[in-house]
Structure 1
Amino acid sequence: MGVRLMVVDDHRLLAEALASALKLRGHRVLAAAAPTAGAAELVVSRAPEVCLMGTAAPDEPGAFDPIVRIRRDRPQVAVLVLGPVPNPRGIAAAFAAGACGYVRHDERIEGVERAIVKARAGDAAVAPGLLQGAFAELLNPAVQPDDEGQRLLRMLTPREIEVLVRVAEGEDTRLIAAGMGIAPSTARTHVQRVLMKLGVGSRLEAAALAARTGLLDRAAVSVLPDGPKHGPPGD
């Protein structure tokens, strides 16, 4: 029996071509939508068994935000990412957002179909080669003479590093202030300084940038084992 599918891609022609190929193989394609910006609402409303979501830039901040919305509102929908070979953090970000698989955009239709079937069955669908490459790079990272995460981290004070960690954990201004023992206005000022130094316009962008560059990993080890360092109230 065919799978109830939805294909989403910023490139409408690619989405429609893939949808047509899958229809010929007996699958029920509910829609071939573009762009991905409005994908979440459409997928939530149509509730397919599997959603194939194309992305041209898996390493970009916010690339997988639609998946977060889909998994929150329609947890029964299995989302497969279709895109270029990302760095290990790109694959990790896709799974962290709730994707159940990652398929190369140059994969043969047979490979795409196998991934769809695995996704519907609740299994992870990632080509062994992608996983091997990801693990190899994570275990033996290439030396980066101008590491972006380290460069950004050097721009922040210890206090601002703690604020960034708390922002990434989803704390609002009130919680940040309470956790650090400072006034809400002071916490708000620290947050604005972090955003300004990182060159981003929102807390979500700051968290995404920190995760993408490895800044968050480095920030986590910049605090004491028992928790972030605290200064006197009002700091």
Structure 2
Amino acid sequence: MGVRLVVIDDHRLLAEALASALKLRGHRVLAAASPAAGAADLVLSRSPEVCLIGTSSPADPGVFETVSRVKRERPAVAVVVLGPVPCPRGIAAAFAAGASGYVRQDERIEGVERAMVKARAGEVAVSPQLLQSAFAELLNPVEEPDDEGSRLLQMLTPREIEVLMRVAEGEDTRLIAAGMSIAPSTARTHVQRVLMKLGVGSRLEAAALAARTGLLDRVTAGSFPSGGSAS
């Protein structure tokens, strides 16, 4: 039996992509949105069985205010967080706010589905391995390496970063070419080069990676030259 749910993510594109995938698997998605002042109101008005909340920064102060309010006003709604790993403080904050589960953001759709079903049944939806890794990092903190967003910026040329940003905005090859004043064939080549460098197989995966690593927030309009190196 399908789950009635609301999907929320830092980036609307990802919320809608996840919602579409779950609809295809027989679940009833009541709404898909990016968080805003009305995110909690949206969940409360729809009264789903499960609310999926995706975030790229679970350790930030106040990020789980929606979870707290939903659990306070609709205790029957199970909340499952999709977030980065390892992030022990984020995992702790999610459960402290009332979440029923925490799933790593790169989990396969089957894993997300299992977590939803467990949370709806009143069970805690988090893998033992995830808890072990979180506890291990809390007990033995290590120096933070350069973040993934910085690594991606160093891998890509300015032109490729612009292409990635346009892909993340949902632009197709024709729009990318028009926006960058290049031929469609050149735009297609740039897109393929970006996918190859990022090690992903589709535009959706590239957009998801950019969003989850904070690259979309880091790179704003005008922060890279649109006429940068095409190499």
TM-score between the two structures when normalised by the length of structure 2? 0.59
Alignment partner, residue 10 of structure 2: 10
Structure 1 residue 143, shift from structure 2 partner: 7.6
Distance between the aligned counterparts of 1:37 and 1:79, measured in 2? 18
Distance between the aligned counterparts of 2:87 and 2:34, measured in 1? 25
| Alpha-carbon contact 1:10-1:36 (below 8 Å) kept | no
- The one-letter code sitting in structure 2 at the alignment partner of 1:125 is A
Residue by residue, what CA displacement relative to the aligned partner does 1:8-47 show, whole Å, maximum 9, x if unpaired?
1121111111101101111011011123442111001111
| Alpha-carbon contact 2:57-2:90 (below 8 Å) kept | no
Alignment partner, residue 99 of structure 2: 99
Distance between the aligned counterparts of 1:87 and 1:94, measured in 2? 11
- The one-letter code sitting in structure 2 at the alignment partner of 1:90 is G
Distance between the aligned counterparts of 2:46 and 2:34, measured in 1? 15
Distance between the aligned counterparts of 2:131 and 2:44, measured in 1? 29
Residue by residue, what CA displacement relative to the aligned partner does 1:182-210 show, whole Å, maximum 9, x if unpaired?
xxxxxxxxxxxxxxxxxxxxxxxxxxxxx
Alignment partner, residue 134 of structure 2: 134
Alignment partner, residue 88 of structure 1: 88
- The one-letter code sitting in structure 2 at the alignment partner of 1:95 is F
- The one-letter code sitting in structure 1 at the alignment partner of 2:105 is H
Does 1:108 pair with 2:108?
Answer: yes
Distance between the aligned counterparts of 2:133 and 2:61, measured in 1? 22
How do 1:41-52 residues align onto structure 2 when only pairs under 5 Å count?
A: 41-52=41-52
Tell me the C-alpha RMSD between the 2 structures.
Answer: 1.6
Structure 1 residue 86, shift from structure 2 partner: 4.4
**Aligned residue-pair number:** 144
Distance between the aligned counterparts of 1:109 and 1:143, measured in 2? 32
| Alpha-carbon contact 2:86-2:133 (below 8 Å) kept | no
Find the residue that maps to 1:125 and give its secondary structure.
coil
What percent identity do the matched residue pairs reach? 76
Q: Which residues of structure 1 form unaligned runs of 5+?
A: 145-235
- The one-letter code sitting in structure 2 at the alignment partner of 1:134 is A
Residues 143 and 22 (structure 1), Cα distance of their counterparts in 2 relative to 1, 3 Å cut: closer
| Alpha-carbon contact 1:40-1:70 (below 8 Å) kept | yes
Alignment partner, residue 75 of structure 1: 75
Q: Which residues of structure 2 form unaligned runs of 5+?
A: 145-231
Distance between the aligned counterparts of 2:21 and 2:86, measured in 1? 25
TM-score between the two structures when normalised by the length of structure 1? 0.58
Distance between the aligned counterparts of 1:100 and 1:36, measured in 2? 22
| Alpha-carbon contact 1:44-1:70 (below 8 Å) kept | yes
Residues 78 and 30 (structure 1), Cα distance of their counterparts in 2 relative to 1, 3 Å cut: same
How do 1:135-174 residues align onto structure 2 when only pairs under 5 Å count?
A: 135-142=135-142
Find the residue that maps to 2:38 and give its secondary structure.
helix
Does 1:29 pair with 2:21?
Answer: no
How do 1:173-192 residues align onto structure 2 when only pairs under 5 Å count?
A: none
* Bigger CA radius of gyration: 1
Find the residue that maps to 1:123 and give its secondary structure.
coil
